[in-house]
């Protein structure tokens, strides 16, 4: 006979305000098999847990149902509670009456009825629970960092510092990311290269760090502690080990018309190039679309000039496989495409630029050697107008609904730097709000207005058009309640930022969830901000949400701390809710192995008795408990219904459904 205890949590007023918790406890007490049903203000508190422990001992409970928040939140807590009182931790079921009930209902009667039904369904499932034990698996003591921007660099350095090996996989030919393109950084105005490049060099020199640039993640298999990752090392047509980065090849290359990505396409570069002077690795790369030798076999000048024979026009992509215990996603961001914002004339006028392009125009290593000139005629602009929130906080559908967070500060920075270096330049900024929370941030913005006399205009810009060689910026001034037209020489658009487009693929490969804006979802918005809900996957930098550099670096280090915590363990407790195959039903069709993301399923030929002294050899599936993560893909794919998940059996789920549908 089962003895079930039901524990209904108020969660302060989170549940109790919308659900009559006393009634829920009372009604569930009458369910067959329930011997005790209690309610308490905070079931997860020490007192609440003691209530459960005492009831287990006093009533000899065989199972526990906790009606509380999502199992994501406290299932582990209550399993531990029960285990400490001598009950198998898998004899606990959580009825989620908070996220799936009290938070989404307003009517107390309705919510209470639903809470009772959810409780009943958990009881019905619990009755079919069986005690489970979990195995152990070893941890591969190496981390993979996907993305070599400041986030990936910082995470990798911190993990390596703790003594673990780290690989950085970066899709572009150098690490450094967007930060390497910036001129100065707010709020201290130190130059980005001065603070970033030493870190890049640290990465390159650190024995524990292996940098793979111009590489992409091809596939990810496995699970926390044991990921198997295939990495595509794309052909760069230059032997990375031989190239010394002397740059002779760049000078000789006759095909010089490639757009320089590093300078946001504002100038050109040869077909063989090193992205920028401080690139890591300091190794050339050939653009095969542009290289005359690769395209039509005629040239080969760079190979002739190269003293170390590093050029290899026949180089092919190479796929390598490595094992990791943890994966850090640090894929960063890119500014959005401005094709939806024709009113600002970005595609029509050369002198309408994005903020990231302005960074290059102001950078000493940029296309104009730091001399701020207009892209159209290389003249110094005398009137510069900035437009804020281009595609940010945009609910029209053209842009992004969120605040890109960094634009207010970098625009203040741009305005200030321009006024400092070119005091006779007029600077106007159109803004919706100025958002500058953060240490020394508001002071920084005020300096731009008060000391540097930047003209901030509250209002949106309607359009930018050309008249008499000037870019006419027409917008509204909401403070003075008037329409203004500002004839400008240069217009700078603070384009919204969005996650790097490659993140969707990567998220799918590592089974991490992403939100509607393609930002990776954290395990808990407040309490687990650097972990993905998928065990072993960690989030670093803007891939999780818009951030500036200080925040990114903090998060990257926090992320590293979590990775180190994982890699420091020798063994991980495996998931006990694993799949198993009913050999009497299994036909050995391989469908389950096809869909298993962990490679946990193999097949054996087994002899079965058929009766009458006859036997038959059949191919049947077996599941490796240490590898199975209990995702359940096989159970739904199995046409015979032979695959079933411990702790989530088809019967248990049917029992839950029946309990919900029963009136």
Q: Least distance (Å) from other proteins to the CB of residue 350?
A: 37
- How does strand 383-390 pair with strand 426-431? parallel
- Confirm or reject binding of residue 244 to other proteins (CB under 8 A): no
Expressed in percent and rounded to 5, the helix, strand and coil fractions of the chain are 30, 25, 45
Residue 530 near residue 558 (C-beta atoms within 8 A): yes
Q: Which of 432, 472, 589, 626 binds other proteins (CB under 8 A)?
A: 589
Q: Which is nearer to other proteins, 70 or 511 (CB)?
A: 511
Q: Least distance (Å) from other proteins to the CB of residue 591?
A: 5
Q: Which is nearer to other proteins, 337 or 508 (CB)?
A: 508
Sole window of 184-192, 263-271, 524-532, 611-619 interacting with other proteins (rule: CB under 8 A): 611-619
Q: In what order do the strands lie in the sheet with 461-467?
A: 461-467, 470-477, 482-488
Sole window of 332-340, 549-557, 563-571, 590-598 interacting with other proteins (rule: CB under 8 A): 590-598
Q: Least distance (Å) from other proteins to the CB of residue 402?
A: 18
Element (H, E) at 322: strand 318-324
Angstrom distance (rounded) from CA 337 to CA 495: 8
Q: Which of 107, 639, 660, 662 binds other proteins (CB under 8 A)?
A: 639
Angstrom distance (rounded) from CA 250 to CA 302: 8
Q: Least distance (Å) from other proteins to the CB of residue 71?
A: 23
Q: Which of 258, 275, 391, 588 binds other proteins (CB under 8 A)?
A: 588
Angstrom distance (rounded) from CA 125 to CA 655: 6
Paired residues of 580 in beta bridges: 644
- Confirm or reject binding of residue 618 to other proteins (CB under 8 A): yes
Sole window of 42-50, 199-207, 423-431, 580-588 interacting with other proteins (rule: CB under 8 A): 580-588
Sole window of 69-77, 157-165, 264-272, 613-621 interacting with other proteins (rule: CB under 8 A): 613-621
Q: Which residues of 541-554 are buried (b: 16+ CB within 10 A; e: fewer)?
A: bbbbbbbbbebbbe
Angstrom distance (rounded) from CA 123 to CA 102: 19
- Confirm or reject binding of residue 615 to other proteins (CB under 8 A): no
Q: Which is nearer to other proteins, 69 or 231 (CB)?
A: 231
For the chain, the residue count is 663
Give, in degrees to the nearest 5, the angle at Cα 101 between 100 and 106: 135
- Confirm or reject binding of residue 85 to other proteins (CB under 8 A): no
Comparing C-alpha atoms, which of 306, 111, 192 is closest to residue 552?
A: 192
Q: Which of 251, 451, 483, 505 binds other proteins (CB under 8 A)?
A: 505
Q: Which is nearer to other proteins, 376 or 650 (CB)?
A: 650
- Confirm or reject binding of residue 604 to other proteins (CB under 8 A): no
- Confirm or reject binding of residue 641 to other proteins (CB under 8 A): yes
Q: Which of 13, 342, 590, 602 binds other proteins (CB under 8 A)?
A: 590
What's the chain's Rg over C-alpha atoms? 31
Q: Which of 35, 162, 460, 591 binds other proteins (CB under 8 A)?
A: 591
Comparing C-alpha atoms, which of 559, 558, 540 is closest to residue 500?
A: 540
Angstrom distance (rounded) from CA 416 to CA 452: 6
Q: Which of 587, 599, 606, 648 binds other proteins (CB under 8 A)?
A: 587
Q: Which is nearer to other proteins, 125 or 374 (CB)?
A: 125
CA distances from 358 to 55, 182, 363, 367, 493 (A): 67, 9, 8, 11, 9
Sole window of 88-96, 273-281, 521-529, 588-596 interacting with other proteins (rule: CB under 8 A): 588-596
- How does strand 142-146 pair with strand 490-495? unpaired
- Confirm or reject binding of residue 603 to other proteins (CB under 8 A): yes
- Confirm or reject binding of residue 502 to other proteins (CB under 8 A): no
- Confirm or reject binding of residue 654 to other proteins (CB under 8 A): yes
Q: Which is nearer to other proteins, 369 or 616 (CB)?
A: 616
- Confirm or reject binding of residue 518 to other proteins (CB under 8 A): no
Tokens of 488: 């400008």
Angstrom distance (rounded) from CA 289 to CA 281: 22
Q: Which is nearer to other proteins, 137 or 652 (CB)?
A: 652
Q: Which of 640, 645, 646, 660 binds other proteins (CB under 8 A)?
A: 640
Residues binding other proteins: number (CB under 8 A): 24
Q: Which is nearer to other proteins, 349 or 603 (CB)?
A: 603
Q: Name the residue with tokens 């090193």.
A: 274
Sign of the alpha-carbon torsion through 184, 558, 177, 492 = negative
- How does strand 470-477 pair with strand 461-467? antiparallel
Residues within the interface to other proteins (CB under 8 A): 505, 508, 584-591, 594-595, 603, 616, 618-619, 637, 639-641, 650-651, 654-655
């Amino acid at each position: 006979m089962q003895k079930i205890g039901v524990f209904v949590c108020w969660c302060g007023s989170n549940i109790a305000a919308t659900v009559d918790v006393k009634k829920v406890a009372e009604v569930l007490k009458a369910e067959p098999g329930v011997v005790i049903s209690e309610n308490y203000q905070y079931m997860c508190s020490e007192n609440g847990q003691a209530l459960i422990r005492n009831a287990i001992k006093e009533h000899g409970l065989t199972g526990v149902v906790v009606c509380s928040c999502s199992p994501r939140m406290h299932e582990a807590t209550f399993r531990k509670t029960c285990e400490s009182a001598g009950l198998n931790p898998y004899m606990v079921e959580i009825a989620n009456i908070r996220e799936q009930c009290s938070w989404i209902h307003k009517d107390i009667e309705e919510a209470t009825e639903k809470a009772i039904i959810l409780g009943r369904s958990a009881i019905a499932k619990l009755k079919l629970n069986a005690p489970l034990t979990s195995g152990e698996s070893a941890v591969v003591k190496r981390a993979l960092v996907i993305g070599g921007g400041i986030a990936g660099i910082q995470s990798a350095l911190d993990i390596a510092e703790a003594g673990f090996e780290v690989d950085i996989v970066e899709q572009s030919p150098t690490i450094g990311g967007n930060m390497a393109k910036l001129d100065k950084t707010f709020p201290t105005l130190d130059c980005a290269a001065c603070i970033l490049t030493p870190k890049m060099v640290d990465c390159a020199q650190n024995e524990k760090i292996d940098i793979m640039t111009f590489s992409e993640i091809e596939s990810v298999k496995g699970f926390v502690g044991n990921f198997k990752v295939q990495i595509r090392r794309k052909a760069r047509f230059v032997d990375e080990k031989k190239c010394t980065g002397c740059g002779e090849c760049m000078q000789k290359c006759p095909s010089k018309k490639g757009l320089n990505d590093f300078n946001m396409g504002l100038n050109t570069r040869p077909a063989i190039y090193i992205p920028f002077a401080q690139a890591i690795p300091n190794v050339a790369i050939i653009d095969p679309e542009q290289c005359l030798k690769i395209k039509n076999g005629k040239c080969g000048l760079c190979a002739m000039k190269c003293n170390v024979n590093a050029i290899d026009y026949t180089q092919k992509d190479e796929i390598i496989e490595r094992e990791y215990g943890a994966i850090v996603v640090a894929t960063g961001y890119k500014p959005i495409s401005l094709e939806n914002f024709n009113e600002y004339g970005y595609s029509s006028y050369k002198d309408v630029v994005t903020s990231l392009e302005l960074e290059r125009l102001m950078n000493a290593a940029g296309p104009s050697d730091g001399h701020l000139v207009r892209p159209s005629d290389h003249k110094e602009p005398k009137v510069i107008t900035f437009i804020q929130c281009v595609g940010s906080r945009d609910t029209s559908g053209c842009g992004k609904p969120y605040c890109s967070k960094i634009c207010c500060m970098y625009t203040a920075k741009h305005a200030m730097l321009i006024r400092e270096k070119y005091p006779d330049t007029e600077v106007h900024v159109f803004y919706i709000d100025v958002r500058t929370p953060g240490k020394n941030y508001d002071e920084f913005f005020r300096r731009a207005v008060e000391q540097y006399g930047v003209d901030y205009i509250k209002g949106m810009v309607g359009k930018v058009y050309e008249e008499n060689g000037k870019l006419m910026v027409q917008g509204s001034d909401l403070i003075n309640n008037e329409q203004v037209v500002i004839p400008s020489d240069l217009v700078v658009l603070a384009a919204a930022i969005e996650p790097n487009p490659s993140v969707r693929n990567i998220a799918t490969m590592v089974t991490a969830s992403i939100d509607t804006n393609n930002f990776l979802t954290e395990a808990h918005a407040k309490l687990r901000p650097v972990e993905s809900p998928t065990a072993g996957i960690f989030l670093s930098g803007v891939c999780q949400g818009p951030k500036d550099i200080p925040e990114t670096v903090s998060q990257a280090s926090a992320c590293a701390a979590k990775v180190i915590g994982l890699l420091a363990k020798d063994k991980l407790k495996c998931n006990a809710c694993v799949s198993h195959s009913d050999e009497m039903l299994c036909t050995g069709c391989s469908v389950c192995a096809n869909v298993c993301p962990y490679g946990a399923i193999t097949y054996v030929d087994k002899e079965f008795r058929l009766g009458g002294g006859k036997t038959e050899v059949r191919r049947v599936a077996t599941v490796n408990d240490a590898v199975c993560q209990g995702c359940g893909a096989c159970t739904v794919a199995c046409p015979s219904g032979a695959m079933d998940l411990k702790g989530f059996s088809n019967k248990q789920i049917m029992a839950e459904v029946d309990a919900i549908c029963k009136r």
